[in-house]
Copies of this chain bind each other. A is one copy, B any other.
Amino acid sequence: MTLQEVERLIDSRATAFVASVDEAGFPNMKAMLAPRLREGLRTFYFTTNTHSMRVAQYRRDPKASVYFCDEAGFRGVMLRGTMETLTDAASRRLIWREGDTEYYPQGVDDPDYCVLRFTACDGRTYTDYHSENFVIEK
């Protein structure tokens, strides 16, 4: 897969899988809504609940990966990097959307709303029978 194909795969997905390492050293993962914002293959912004288990895990250990999967096409891409939890006003507003009050009734400053910013350092593509690593430029 070329990096352009990787970007197309990412943009075509409604769901991203995010992984963390818990306090006992086990990898954890869950599906999340696709990132709200993406800057190249390096930076991804997600909305999440401040009091979620994932946030607690990333605050303890920011090592993360994000995986996008086209199951039907047997293709996937895993990005490896670090996850920050942002609660500042600018970050909150950067990815806030009107309908989000459904999840965060107090609006953009709801204390249970926060932003996960993932910064990738490298990645690995998976296609039928073949995997390949790639580096992400700063």
Contacts and interface: CB of A to CB of B under 8 A. Distances in A.
Interface string A95-138: 00000000000000000000000000000101000010000000
A25 B17 contact: no
Copies in the complex: 2
A55 interface: no
Given A25-B21, A29-B65, A53 B15 contact: no
B71 A29 contact: no
B131 A28 contact: no
B63 A30 contact: no
A19 B30 CA distance: 11
Q: Which size class do A's interface residues fall under? A: 20 to 34
B14 A71 contact: yes
Given A14-B71, A53-B131, A71-B14, A80 B19 contact: no
B25 A63 contact: yes
Contacts of A21: 21, 25-27
Given A53-B131, A71-B15, A20 B29 contact: no
Which 7 A-B residue pairings sit nearest by Cβ, starting from the closest?
A: A19-B27, A27-B27, A26-B63, A31-B69, A19-B29, A29-B67, A15-B71
